[in-house]
A = this chain, B = another copy of it.
Amino acid sequence: MRRKSFEDAECPIARGIDQVGDWWSLLILRDAFDGLTRFDQFERSLGIAPGMLTRRLRGLVEDGLLTRVAYSQRPPRHDYRLTERGKALRPVLIALYAWQNRLTPEADRTMVLVDRDGVTVDPVLVDRRTGKSLGELGARFVPGPAAGDGMRRRLDRHSEGTS
């Protein structure tokens, strides 16, 4: 994955995409949330070439999203488990699910998010403190304490935004 310019290194969305913004890495994480832990499980689930899977798993471990844990000494065997940082990514995958599912007629849905009683859950982003939706709050991005000139220009442009 090509790393981006200095301005983008400042953007938390760009940094996030840089860590997980490729097909395979996101699908490996999806499988990890589904309880898969072993190389051969990921390989079978994804139909991915072993060399490709090795590189992606290594990248996810380097980025601190998965951790590699020995579960057998002889023969040496490892599995891959989500770190706290990796687990914290679940809302991104759930938001992606919600986006797709809202576009899919109910009868055509292959996966549904439910609560303990099997009642469908419709995930929506709200502000933790007030419980209000982001639309209701008119939520928008402003430069933070560490924003450089590039980020300030980006977000100024936003406030003059055409959409």
Contact = CB atoms under 8 A, between A and B. Distances in A.
Given A11-B30, A96-B92, A151 B110 contact: yes
Contacts of A15: 100
Contacts of A158: 34-35
A16 B94 CA distance: 11
Contacts of A18: 23
Given A85-B103, A111-B142, A111-B155, 20 more contacts: A12-B101, A12-B109, A14-B27, A16-B97, A22-B23, A34-B161, A35-B161, A35-B162, A88-B99, A89-B99, A91-B125, A92-B96, A94-B125, A108-B146, A111-B143, A113-B139, A113-B141, A114-B139, A118-B142, A131-B131
